[in-house]
Amino acid sequence: MSEHDLFKVFERMPRKVTIGDITVRDGFQHEEKFIPTAAKIYYLQELAFAGMRRMEATNLGNPRIMPQFQDAEEVLKGVHNEVFEKRLAKRGIDPKQIEWTCITIRESAVDRAIELKEKGYGPDRVLMMVSTDEQHHFANSGTTLPQYWKEAERCIKKCKDAGIKMCGTVSTIWGSPISGPTRFEDAIEFTKRWLSIGADDIEHADHDGSAPPDRVYRYFSMLLDAIPNPDLHVAHFHVTRGWGNANVLAALQAGMTHYEATLGGLGGQPANFVDGVPGLGTGTYYYKDPNVVGLATLEDMVVMMDEMGIDTGLDVDRILELGTMMEKTIGRRLRSEAILNGRIPKEPREAFKRPRLPKLKEKNGEKPGQLIPADWPAEAVVPPELLRG
């Protein structure tokens, strides 16, 4: 007989995971209207109250290129102030348990992160990124890969001296929108390169929804064979082609324990317009409709994992409430299905029961709970010829 327990079939599959929220950074970077600073701070704080312990707060790059993050310092101050820390303490949450990340693609942004850390409200962790496709990497950073590796090495040393962690992202793992197919072996080698120069963890990014589930399982299985510590790795999925949670399941089956997501599945390539003002963004979009792209949806992910018996440490009901609120903030219907349909009921829903059913069963001479005719055998017998494969 086959084994029917998914956790036994996939022995690496975890019962407990960590989900990091990246709504306010990766989600909002795609929006063509400026999201108010107070809203950014509100969602970061409320996600912390809901159990989130790893969040991307902002991007410290040049605000001329990324005007959505012209308020970066104010947002960081908003999650490092005394009032917020007191509210955390009332809920039994140690502020030091929360890890705040900022995106710092280039060295100037890393220097800014260190400066803010010295002022008392800087990030605990920063993120730099490489692509295995050098054309894609150049489009994002303006450097060659050898140039960038040396820059990243310098930045990691600076960050360690300042008490800041460094996350190294590897992108174009499943293909590049510029150069086409890529190799898993290159992504694993790049992961080793990041770790060899001192990175604390690695984000493995399906940056544009190119990864089908079978190749997600293959890559993360290869990765965990090569570098078995799952705490070193973070899975990051886009849903441009609708494969978000299918890829999350494939990564779970491979043994991945750390994930990222956004409320409503927000996110995508940085916007070229904010409040109608043209900016630089990242140039020509890789997709035809900016409303189609997005990231793995936090609300749907936590409901799915909850139903699977996987512990996320999050208040699922509060996450759903925040997802509903996010649609008001953004001003349109977002990607989450869970905020509409909620969690799967665990108790009978009395209001939906039909009162005529018990009376009809009694009239027919059927016992309560009787599901098959009384004169049928207790177990069904399938004709043998139908059982042959």
Residue 248 in contact with residue 206, Cβ under 8 Å? no
Domain assignment present for residue 372? The answer is no
H/E stretch holding 186 reads: helix 184-196
Domain count, the chain: 1
Report pLDDT for 12: 97
Domain assignment present for residue 285? The answer is yes
Among the listed residues 93, 22, 58, 17, the one whose alpha carbon sits nearest the alpha carbon of residue 249? 17
Residue 63 in contact with residue 73, Cβ under 8 Å? no
Unique residue bearing structure tokens 């997600």: 216
Domain assignment present for residue 362? The answer is no
Domain assignment present for residue 166? The answer is yes
Gap between the Cα atoms of 95 and 72, Å rounded: 20
Gap between the Cα atoms of 330 and 351, Å rounded: 34
Query: What CATH number corresponds to the domain at position 242?
Result: 3.20.20.70
Task: Provide the residue range defining the domain that includes 290.
Answer: 6-341
Domain assignment present for residue 360? The answer is no
Per residue of the chain (389 residues), give pLDDT as tens.
Answer: 789 999 999 999 999 999 999 999 999 999 999 999 999 999 999 999 999 999 999 999 988 888 999 999 999 999 999 999 999 999 999 999 999 999 999 999 999 999 999 999 999 999 999 999 999 999 889 999 999 999 999 999 999 999 999 999 999 999 998 999 999 999 999 999 999 999 999 999 998 899 999 999 999 999 999 999 999 999 999 998 899 999 999 999 999 999 999 999 999 888 888 898 877 666 666 667 777 789 999 999 999 999 999 999 999 999 999 999 999 999 999 999 999 999 999 899 999 999 999 999 999 999 999 999 999 999 999 999 999 87
Domain assignment present for residue 369? The answer is no
Domain assignment present for residue 286? The answer is yes
Q: How many other C-beta atoms are found inside a 10 Å radius of the C-beta of residue 316?
A: 19
Domain assignment present for residue 242? The answer is yes
Report pLDDT for 64: 84
Q: How many other C-beta atoms are found inside a 10 Å radius of the C-beta of residue 87?
A: 15
Query: Which pTM does this prediction carry?
Result: 0.94
